[in-house]
Amino acid sequence: AGWAVEVDGPSHFVRSSDGQLHCNGGTLLKRRHLAGLGYALVSVPFWEWGAVEKKPLQEKVRYLREKLGLRTTGSSRKISYAAAASSQ
C-alpha cells in the first residue's frame, strides 16, 4: 500500500523493571493494523528525533531519508520537506 511514518512520543512507550523502553499495547496494535493493511511502517522514536530536532532542515531531511532507506544524495526519489519543516 505504501509508507506509514509514525513519530513515537514518550506516551508510546512503557519502561520495564530493568529500565528499558518498550512499545505500549496501543502502539503495538496500531503497528499490527498498519502491517495488515500492507503499509511499511517507519518508526521515529522521540529520543532519535530529539537528537535532530534543533538541527538545520537539511539534517532532518537526511535523518528521515535514512529512516526510509533512501540514499541521502543522488536519489531520484523525493520526500516532502513538510514533516521536517513543521518543527522549525
pLDDT given for residue 1 in this prediction: 73
pLDDT given for residue 74 in this prediction: 52
| Alpha-carbon distances of 23 from 2, 8, 78, 82, rounded to whole Å | 22, 9, 30, 26
Per-residue pLDDT tens over the stretch 57-75: 999 999 999 998 886 555 4
**Grid coordinates belonging to 65:** 531519508
pLDDT given for residue 69 in this prediction: 86
* Contact status, residue 70 vs residue 77, Cβ threshold 8 Å: yes
pLDDT given for residue 68 in this prediction: 87
Extract the residue ranges of the chain whose pLDDT is less than 70. 71-88
Long-range CB pairs of 74-81 (<8 Å, 24+ gap) are 81/57
Task: Give the span between the Cα atoms of 12 and 33, in whole angstroms.
Answer: 16
